[in-house]
Amino acid sequence: MKAFDFLNVPDNNGITMVMDKGLPPSYIDDYLKVCGEYITFVKFGWGTSAVQDKEIVKEKIKIYKKHNIKAYAGGTLFELCHSKGLYDEYLKECKELGFGCIEISDGSMELSKEDRKNAIRKAKQNGFIVLSEVGKKSIEEDSKLTTEDRINIINEDLRAGSDFVIMEGRESGKSIGLFDEKGNLKDKEFKKMLEYIDTNKIIFEAPNKNQQVEFILSIGSNVNLGNIAYEEVISLKTLRTGLRGDTFGKI
C-alpha cells in the first residue's frame, strides 16, 4: 500500500526506460525497492557492459529480473559487433548474460535498410524483444534526417518486427532528434510526426524534466519515455500522476 493512499492516485501504464551507465549491484537492489515497479526497461548505456565484469553484468541483470525489468545493452555495442561481422556472437553473449532485449541502431555507423531488417528479424527469431532506434549520435549527421525520414524508418522497423522504436535523445537531450539546442521539443516536427506514427509503439528518450512534462501534457500520462536517470524515476511517476507542480491539475 502506498503512503497517502486515500488520495487514490490514478494509475498509468506508460513505459519507463531507465539508463544504467555502470551502477553497482547493491545500490541497484536498494533503489529498486523504492521505484522498481515503475520501470519497464533498463538500458546498459552504449558499450558500458563491455568494460564491466561478466559476473557483475549477470548479477545486475538478475536483480532487474526480480523486479520484472527487462535489460538490454546499448545500440552502440550492437553496432560495433555488427560492423565487425560478430552479430551472431553478440546475440549469443546477450542471451548468456541474461539480456531479454536487443537494441538495433545505426547511431555511429552506416547500416543498409536490408541489413537493418535482417538484424531485427534475427534478433526476433532468437527470442529477444527488439527495440530499434532512430537517430544519429553526431549532431551534424542527425540533422540530415528529415521528419519524413524518421517517420519512414519507424514504420519500416515496426513492419520488420521491432516491438518498439526509440526516438534518440542521447543522455543530454540537446540538438538531437526532436529537441533543439536548448532541449526544447521542436513543435512543428513533433506534430507532423504524431500524424504518422503510433505513439504506443514509440519510446521517446526524454532525459530532462521539461521534456518529460511536454510529452506527458501533449500525448498523455501513458506516453513511453526513455533515458530516465535512476534518481528521476519517482519524480517522473509524480509528473505522470499530477503530483508535481509542472503537471498539477493538468492530468
Q: Provide, rounded to whole angstroms, the least separation between the CB of residue 159 and a second copy.
A: 27
Q: Count Cβ neighbours within 10 Å for each residue of 177-216 and write b for 16 or more, e otherwise.
A: bbbeeebebeeebbebbeeebebeebbbbbbbbebbbbbb
- Verify binding: residue 137, a second copy, rule CB under 8 A: yes
Q: Decide: residue 112, CB within 10 A, 0-12 exposed, 13-18 middle, 19+ buried.
A: exposed
Please state, in angstroms and rounded to a whole number, the distance separating the CA atoms of residues 106 and 104.
7
Span interacting with a second copy, options 150-158, 188-196, 213-221, 231-239, rule CB under 8 A? 231-239
* Residue among 115, 163, 189, 246 that touches a second copy (CB under 8 A): 246
Q: Provide, rounded to whole angstroms, the least separation between the CB of residue 133 and a second copy.
A: 11
Number of residues forming the site for a second copy (CB under 8 A): 67
- Verify binding: residue 86, a second copy, rule CB under 8 A: yes
- Verify binding: residue 84, a second copy, rule CB under 8 A: yes
* Residue among 27, 143, 159, 200 that touches a second copy (CB under 8 A): 27
Instruction: For the chain, give the number of residues.
Output: 251
- Verify binding: residue 139, a second copy, rule CB under 8 A: no
- Verify binding: residue 22, a second copy, rule CB under 8 A: yes
Phi, psi torsion values for 89, nearest 5 degrees: -60, -40
**Hey, what's the cell of 121?**
528479424
Please state, in angstroms and rounded to a whole number, the distance separating the CA atoms of residues 31 and 241.
21
Binding residues (CB under 8 A) for a second copy: these are 1-7, 9, 21-27, 30-35, 38, 45-54, 56-57, 73, 76-77, 79-81, 84, 86, 89-90, 93, 97, 107-109, 137-138, 170, 231-235, 237-238, 241-246, 248-249
